[in-house]
Amino acid sequence: MAGKRKTIKQRNEELAKENKKIRNYGLKFRAFSTPKQHEQIIQTIGCARFTFNFFLGERQEVYHETKETLRSGEFKQSFNALKDHPMFNWLKKVDKFALECALEQVDDAFDRFFKGQNRYPKFRSKHKSKQSYSTKETNGNIALDFEKEQIKLPKLGWVNVKLSKKQRRLFKEQGFNGKIKGATVTVHSSGQTHISLKIEEVVPIENDIDWSLVSAENIMGCDLGLTHFLIDSNGNKIENPRYLKQYLKKLATLQRQLKNKKKGSSNYKKLQHNVAKLHLKISNLRKDFLHKQSRKLVNENQVIVLEDLNVKGLIKNKKLARSIADVSWSTFVTFVSYKAIWDNKKVVLINRFFASSKQCNGCKEKHTLLSLSDRIWVCPSCGAEHDRDRNAANNIKEEGIRILRTPVAS
């Protein structure tokens, strides 16, 4: 694979400036090949299987003898020379990109094996019920004509396919704006053939969802707190990670010790170094936790309502646990916000001084006497019993709904 090209991540970062992103998806079609095309497909599958197995064997042998890893890029030249040999020139009758793909699939199989995602690569058998080959797009050698319902493939020419009703409607409404990156042709033992196209499309990040119409059950209110990291309006609680507490305790101890040391002494410097190291460790663990939780929240909800913690005057607090929590909350709000933009979802930020915890979610009565220590309370006006944080999450959700449904003059 060409490693010099820009990665998807880099391209997405550039596209984000124009409010666009890359979307990868597949399109699968039932194919109706002519007998001649079918013969060519079967031949190509055979050649791709041969290529895969040949290179897999070669790679294993080279490793066995030299402990070196032979990558497809290095092997390609000798493989092309092999195709010129009279014994192997039948390989030249088929799509050469299919054979290149087979070589790269061996690399991929090993890469996944070393990452622990797959078992050790196996030789391909010709007796499986599904046989396939993949090929890649170069200079327009793969194309889709959705009006004629045909796909062009190397060496095969135009193959008839059948569009689903949904595909036909979508193409009619929006046309086809994607770029074809590759194709996989699969033949089942029943004789049915399918063609899957790998598509890459640059799409606008924002779409025209009317957020004021989103129903309440697709809106999630979240209360971020000290006792729990997060409580949502369905009553789900996410605990603060336990290790964080332990490390914070350790950090507090170290910082206390640091205070008692003479500034500039070697002991002071040593301790200072340890404090810095621990800070970094906590920061990495916290970020990892925040990424996971924000991803989960965005995956599971369409609209997320959070308190806006990035307002000026975030209360300065001397307590370490509290200041760390403040940083975590605003980082979390940032993470949720940009992940939501990527996924075409919506974040509503509400004023953090909105009296979320002291208002009864049932009768809307405010209870100023409620103290921070009251985890569970009974509303003196309507008698409803509330879990303090869940009540807050529900109020946050309702405030979010109110904002969503209030028309803005623009």
Q: Which residues bind Zn ion (CB under 5 A)?
A: 360, 362-363, 365, 379, 381-382, 384
Nearer to Zn ion, 107 or 223 (CB): 223
Nearer to Zn ion, 68 or 365 (CB): 365
DSSP code of 302?
A: S
Question: In the annotation, is 104 catalytic?
Answer: no
- Whole-number Å distance between alpha carbons of 344 and 41: 40
Tokens of 233: 């309006």
Minimum CB separation from Zn ion for residue 361, in Å? 8
Is residue 311 a contact partner of residue 352, using CB atoms and an 8 Å limit? yes
Minimum CB separation from Zn ion for residue 362, in Å? 4
Nearer to Zn ion, 153 or 379 (CB): 379
Catalytic residue, candidates 223, 232, 398, 399: 223
Is residue 201 a contact partner of residue 170, using CB atoms and an 8 Å limit? no
Residue 181: C-alpha distances to residues 135, 235, 288 (Å): 9, 45, 33
Minimum CB separation from Zn ion for residue 263, in Å? 56
Burial class from Cβ neighbours inside 10 Å (0-12, 13-18, 19+) for residue 5 reads exposed
Nearer to Zn ion, 197 or 360 (CB): 360
- Whole-number Å distance between alpha carbons of 73 and 4: 14
Question: In the annotation, is 389 catalytic?
Answer: yes
Catalytic residue, candidates 95, 104, 232, 307: 307
Is residue 273 a contact partner of residue 314, using CB atoms and an 8 Å limit? no
Which residue in 257, 277, 279 sits closest to 268, CA to CA? 257
Residue 199 CB neighbour total at 10 angstroms: 18
Minimum CB separation from Zn ion for residue 398, in Å? 14
- Whole-number Å distance between alpha carbons of 104 and 111: 10
In DSSP notation, 157-187 reads EEEEEE--HHHHHHHHHH----EEEEEEEEE
Nearer to Zn ion, 282 or 384 (CB): 384
Minimum CB separation from Zn ion for residue 386, in Å? 8
Minimum CB separation from Zn ion for residue 119, in Å? 59
DSSP code of 4?
A: S
- Whole-number Å distance between alpha carbons of 390 and 362: 12
Which residue in 278, 231, 229, 232 sits closest to 253, CA to CA? 278
- Whole-number Å distance between alpha carbons of 268 and 254: 11
Nearer to Zn ion, 71 or 367 (CB): 367
Nearer to Zn ion, 33 or 391 (CB): 391
Nearer to Zn ion, 132 or 361 (CB): 361
- Whole-number Å distance between alpha carbons of 10 and 221: 33
DSSP code of 356?
A: T
Minimum CB separation from Zn ion for residue 364, in Å? 7
- Whole-number Å distance between alpha carbons of 176 and 145: 9
Minimum CB separation from Zn ion for residue 233, in Å? 17
Question: In the annotation, is 206 catalytic?
Answer: no
Matching residue, tokens 């959705």: 146
Name the residues annotated as catalytic: 223, 307, 389
